[in-house]
Structure 1
């Protein structure tokens, strides 16, 4: 016997639900990409960068789940994203962190687009929910920008890459064992 879906009245519009599901996809893709980057770093000897990226992958999945639950609780239907086209190989550690910065800027733009949509349709509940993500993205961009700056500040010659890899965990307060 097939169970019927409960249809309740809701204030969440279909357009907002679609935008939030697109953001769920973006957060899921972030998690998968950072996991792939962590694997590349681990296999190429950048242990601290790998730890940083494993933590970051978990954090991105939590962001995805936060939106996932919100959509369902607001009467919508969250869609499990199909994650495709994940890059698995990088030419350098710098490329990894430049890719992260570019991606975090794209996520910020996406969040801002959804907030603007909510403002225009006066969905202040969803807009309020998204304020956490607005603040989080400022932190994410700053962290990614700082990681890229390490390459210019320290340099990649000699022990530069080793030093950068050591410093990466310090960006997040030294989580994990950097020794």
Structure 2
């Protein structure tokens, strides 16, 4: 018997699957960067792939802990081709905004059901999404500083190097693009 309502378990499983999709999307993005010779971006994105699998694990563990059954559902293949590195990071920002909206909706449903156990569990994800959106918005701002459509040659090399230096675990590092 579940500690929380079956409806909430179903919604948590939905989010579990979104986290798995996110991991797969970052994996594909990292592979695309590898193919383009962008080893710094690839390293950074593989780090996010691992982070998203940790999010998946957190949902799985929570669902099982409260007496539910974690279930992987059908998933369409994530995007694996991009027009440019700018396109890739624009895609990430939109995806992270979508995930934030999904977490917010889940929090709303938990609060509406007076499910304080789930609400408390989701607190960590609210903070995580704030950090994710801040990080990726900062990266897009830096891309725009370099000049939209100008991320090639030396600018692309510098950007890739800066991305490889970012600490994906801490989120506290800002991307530093030194053009000297």
Q: 1:100 deviation in Å?
A: 0.6
CA distance in 2, matches of 1:35, 1:157: 23
Task: Output the TM-score relative to the length of structure 1.
Answer: 0.88
SS at match of 1:159: helix
Matched, 1:94 2:86: yes
SS at match of 2:133: helix
Larger radius of gyration: 1
Question: Where does the alignment leave 5 or more consecutive residues of structure 2 unmatched?
Answer: 171-180
Task: Output the TM-score relative to the length of structure 2.
Answer: 0.87
Matched, 1:57 2:49: yes
- Structure-1 residue corresponding to 2:31: 39
Question: Where does the alignment leave 5 or more consecutive residues of structure 1 unmatched?
Answer: 1-7
SS at match of 2:45: helix
- Structure-2 residue corresponding to 1:159: 154
- Pick from 125, 129, 132 the counterpart of residue 121 of structure 2: 129
Of 86-95 and 32-41, more deviation after overlay is shown by 86-95
Q: 1:150 deviation in Å?
A: 1.6
**For residues 4-44 of structure 1, what are the alpha-carbon distances to aligned partners after superposition, in whole Å with 9 as ceiling and x for unaligned?**
xxxx3x33111111111110111000000100000000010
Q: 1:125 deviation in Å?
A: 0.7
Q: Deviation above 3 Å: which 4+ runs of structure 1?
A: none
CA distance in 1, matches of 2:54, 2:91: 21
